């Protein structure tokens, strides 16, 4: 029976390029999950988009003397390129600065207001007398009240790392004009009444959460049970963002955290319109059996297990998250990734020098599912050479080459199977349940390990059967062995497909099949009434494989095989580390 599954990922801030920590934290896992579920025949929709609002964007814009929209126009297309190069198969990757998203967000706001979940209150904020405006946290700098660092930002001190309330700053300065002519004034804002949602959220968290990761569940439960939730401001005194749809508040904007999570829903609506099925979104949002998965990093847990579910309850009628498989952090060479300290491995950059599948492989093998992990270049090279190339790529290559050379470039016809043949074939059938079960439970490291074990079994099988000896004495026996081995690598092609779609596509072709198993990705321009924006779309409806043991036809013509993966020179590890150290100096 086909299930309806909505797969979403965190919405990346559109103010810079993504690094491998982002990929390992959220985006890659979501793609593996989505590709697998599609092969299972489930009704999958995977959506996300660029987060275009908030001070990270405006700060970036000011640093470069351009508009926020120009920042978005630079980085959003780069995200679209990255998804295509890495094979992240969003059915729709859009952005938040669209008429659709604005309208849906304003609808949420007004519905929350009508339902009594939004209230007005005043808060204290710095006001710049020279600029005659309120200053959002990121627009005030001053001395940190805790460590005395003179360059602390209003939201956080970069020196001691503390989260600050801007009004605590000593000797505050305006970041817009540089002046110190500031005073604290009261400003009126709208607040989401999370206290009112505490009870309903507690009820929700108690039922059917056994599949949640312990860390996510414990954290959420602790917050809901002990920490009394407090109202959270939804609006800010800035100019970039979605206007507040209430007369008299035209100069305020909706706070980015509120509109960004609504993107999960608005993107589904946009997809429905683009595909000409205006009601299709209901499949995932209103049918109780539908499941929604949110792939995010651990810093985002409360937004997805408390705030967004609360917003959905307050809105009414929409499905709450089924699972929030949050990942932890990926460090590199023992140091935390940091854009400001220039300690990053940017994905678009490394994809200039390396193929996508080795990254997908390594980042899955060390995916931070239960704790922080450490990526090293040395391990990347080792996993590529010892696991991808030696175990899997070489298995495919040795079998294909043998068949191509000795059996007239065709799949040989097998004779009677012996126990050993049957044993391996059975293991390859069982692997679909084993690997699939792990992916269903979002245990992707375990899933990849299980697939690799089958490849190891196939290598053992060949060494025991020794078809290179059989071919000299008993051609029929060699034919059976090679048929069995081809059958198994054809199945491994499917088993590895969610993780390594690019190389599975190649193998699919070497085995003599036709057709595209990766699906098709394309960028298109969406025109609304007054604005237009770029989106990435995906069509996997023609994919000719399913999540089940394949049966290879004897006599099928093979194509000339090529190695699936390249070996990497171990010296590269040192070079890459040096490149990073050089890049970080002067930061």
Contact residues toward RNA (CB under 7 A) are 161-163, 215, 218, 222, 299, 336, 366, 370-374, 379, 382, 386-387, 389-391, 393-394, 397-399, 401-402, 405, 456, 459-460, 462-464, 466-469, 563-567
- 521: number of Cβ within 10 Å: 20
Cβ 249 vs Cβ 210: under 8 Å: no
HSE of 199, CA atoms in CB hemisphere, 13 A:
1
Which are the contacts of 270, defined by CB distance < 8 A and separation ≥ 6? Answer: 92, 94, 98, 100, 101, 526, 535
Distance in Å, CB of 461 to RNA, minimum: 8
Which one, 466 or 578, has the nearer CB to RNA?
466
Query: Could you give the CA distance from residue 311 to residue 266 in angstroms, rounded to a whole number?
Result: 14
Which one, 312 or 479, has the nearer CB to RNA?
479
Distance in Å, CB of 319 to RNA, minimum: 27
Distance in Å, CB of 417 to RNA, minimum: 20
Which one, 250 or 299, has the nearer CB to RNA?
299
Distance in Å, CB of 402 to RNA, minimum: 4
Closest to 9 in 3D by CA, of 40, 39, 32: 32
Which one, 133 or 331, has the nearer CB to RNA?
331
Distance in Å, CB of 200 to RNA, minimum: 23
Which one, 270 or 421, has the nearer CB to RNA?
421
Cβ 158 vs Cβ 340: under 8 Å: yes
Distance in Å, CB of 10 to RNA, minimum: 16
DSSP 514: -
Dihedral angle over CA of 447, 453, 455, 460, nearest 10: -170
- 441: number of Cβ within 10 Å: 13
Which one, 62 or 155, has the nearer CB to RNA?
155
Distance in Å, CB of 128 to RNA, minimum: 26
**Residue 532: φ, ψ to 5°:** -140, 155
Distance in Å, CB of 335 to RNA, minimum: 10
DSSP letter for each residue of 338-398:
BTTTTB--BHHHHTTTS-HHHHHHHHHHT--SSS-EEE-HHHHHHIIIIIIIIIIIHHHHH
Which one, 254 or 455, has the nearer CB to RNA?
455
Query: Could you give the CA distance from residue 159 to residue 175 in angstroms, rounded to a whole number?
Result: 18
Distance in Å, CB of 548 to RNA, minimum: 25
Query: Could you give the CA distance from residue 285 to residue 268 in angstroms, rounded to a whole number?
Result: 9
- 17: number of Cβ within 10 Å: 16
Which one, 77 or 302, has the nearer CB to RNA?
302
Which one, 399 or 549, has the nearer CB to RNA?
399
Burial of 274 per CB tally in 10 Å (0-12, 13-18, 19+): middle
Distances (CA, A) of 218 to 212, 222, 303, 316, 319: 9, 6, 15, 26, 22
Cβ 292 vs Cβ 34: under 8 Å: no
């Amino acid at each position: 029976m086909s299930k309806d599954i909505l797969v979403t990922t965190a919405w990346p801030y559109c103010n810079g390029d993504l690094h491998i920590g982002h990929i390992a934290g959220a985006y890659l896992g979501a793609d593996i999950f989505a590709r697998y579920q599609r092969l299972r025949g489930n009704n999958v929709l995977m959506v996300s988009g660029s987060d275009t609002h908030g001070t990270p964007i405006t700060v970036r814009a000011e640093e470069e003397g351009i508009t926020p929209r120009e920042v978005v126009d630079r980085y959003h297309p780069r995200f679209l390129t990255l998804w295509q190069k890495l094979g992240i198969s969003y059915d729709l990757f859009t952005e938040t600065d669209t008429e659709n998203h604005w309208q849906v967000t304003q609808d949420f706001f007004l519905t929350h207001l009508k339902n009594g979940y939004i209230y007005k209150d005043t808060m204290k904020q710095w006001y710049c007398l020279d600029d005659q405006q309120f200053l959002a946290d990121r627009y005030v700098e001053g001395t940190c009240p805790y460590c005395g660092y003179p360059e602390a930002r209003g939201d956080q001190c970069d020196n001691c790392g503390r989260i600050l309330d801007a009004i605590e700053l000593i000797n505050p300065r305006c970041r817009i004009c540089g002046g110190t002519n500031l005073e604290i004034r009261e400003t009126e804002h709208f607040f989401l009444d999370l206290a009112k949602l505490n009870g309903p959220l507690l009820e929700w968290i108690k039922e059917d959460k056994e599949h949640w990761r312990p860390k996510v569940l414990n954290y959420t439960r602790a917050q809901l049970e002990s920490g009394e939730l407090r109202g959270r401001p939804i609006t800010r005194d800035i100019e970039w963002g979605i206007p507040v749809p209430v007369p008299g508040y035209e100069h305020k904007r909706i706070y980015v955290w509120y509109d960004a999570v609504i993107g999960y829903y608005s993107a589904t609506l946009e997809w429905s319109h683009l595909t000409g099925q205006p009601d299709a979104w209901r499949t995932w949002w209103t049918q109780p059996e539908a499941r929604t998965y949110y792939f995010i990093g651990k810093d985002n847990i409360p937004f997805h297990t408390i705030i967004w579910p609360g917003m959905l309850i307050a809105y009414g009628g929409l499905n709450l998250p089924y699972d929030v498989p949050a990942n932890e952090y990926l460090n590199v060479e023992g140091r935390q990734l940091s854009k400001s300290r220039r300690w990053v491995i940017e994905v678009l950059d490394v994809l200039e020098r390396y193929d996508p599948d080795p990254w997908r492989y390594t980042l899955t093998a060390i995916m931070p599912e239960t704790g922080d992990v450490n990526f090293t270049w040395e391990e990347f090279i080792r996993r590529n050479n010892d696991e991808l190339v030696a175990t899997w790529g070489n298995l495919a290559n040795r079998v294909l080459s043998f068949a191509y050379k000795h059996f007239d470039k065709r799949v040989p016809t097998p004779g009677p199977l012996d126990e050993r043949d049957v044993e391996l074939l059975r293991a390859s059938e069982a692997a679909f349940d084993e690997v699939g079960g792990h992916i269903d439970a979002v245990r992707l490291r375990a899933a990849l390990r299980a697939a690799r074990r089958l490849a190891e079994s196939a290598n053992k099988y060949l060494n025991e059967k020794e078809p290179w000896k059989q071919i000299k004495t008993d051609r029929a026996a060699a034919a059976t062995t090679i048929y069995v081995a081809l059958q198994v690598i054809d199945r491994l092609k499917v088993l590895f497909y969610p993780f390594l779609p690019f190389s599975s596509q190649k193998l699919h072709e070497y085995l003599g099949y036709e057709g595209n198993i990766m699906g098709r990705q394309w960028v298109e321009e969406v025109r609304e009434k007054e604005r237009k924006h770029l989106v990435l779309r995906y069509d996997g409806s023609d994919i000719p494989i399913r999540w089940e043991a394949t049966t290879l036809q004897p006599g099928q013509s093979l194509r000339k095989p090529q190695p699936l993966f390249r070996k990497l020179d171990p010296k590269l590890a040192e070079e890459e580390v040096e490149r990073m150290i050089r890049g970080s100096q002067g930061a």
